[in-house]
Amino acid sequence: MNPSESPEISVQALLALRRENDAVRLIADRLKVKEMGPADHIRTKHEAKAFVESGDITAAELLLKNAQTRRELNQSQSITEKMTQQRGQRMGQ
């Protein structure tokens, strides 16, 4: 784990954040939605809103799992894109 990264958010933390005034935004920030693609960012915010409205622990667990998967997918796609660009630059030389 990168020392500058905060540890993953827990279900208990989500339950606590759910009671805050701006819960959806706070949860979205903690889930690092800005590290996701645009569609995944929106999906995650919708899931966060559904969780805040329901307070369901299963929804919280699913939200955490989906957010992590979406961040990892976006990171993989970014790496692949960079490698493809580098390969294209080398081929053009």
Summarised one tens digit per residue, pLDDT across range 3-43 is 334 457 899 999 999 999 999 999 999 999 988 888 999 99
Is 59 a domain residue? Answer: yes
Is 27 a domain residue? Answer: yes
Among residues 61, 51, 60, 57, the alpha carbon closest in space to that of 23 is found at 51
Is 16 a domain residue? Answer: yes
Collect all residues with Cβ–Cβ distance below 8 Å to 48 and sequence separation of at least 6.
23, 24, 27, 28, 31, 63
- What are 25-29's contacts with CB under 8 Å, separation 24+? 27/51, 27/52, 27/63
Is 86 a domain residue? Answer: yes
The predicted model gives 38-59 an average pLDDT of: 94
Whether the model clears a pTM of 0.75, i.e. scores above it, the answer is: yes
Q: Per the structure, how many domains does the chain have? A: 1
Is 4 a domain residue? Answer: no
Residues 15, 85: Cα–Cα separation, whole Å: 42
Is 25 a domain residue? Answer: yes
Is 5 a domain residue? Answer: no
Give the pLDDT score at 2: 39
- Residue 79 pLDDT greater than 80, yes or no: yes
- Give residue 47's domain range: 11-91
Give the pLDDT score at 93: 62
Among residues 7, 52, 8, the alpha carbon closest in space to that of 26 is found at 52
Is 36 a domain residue? Answer: yes
- Residue 72 pLDDT greater than 60, yes or no: yes
Whether 21 and 40 have beta carbons less than 8 Å apart is answered as no
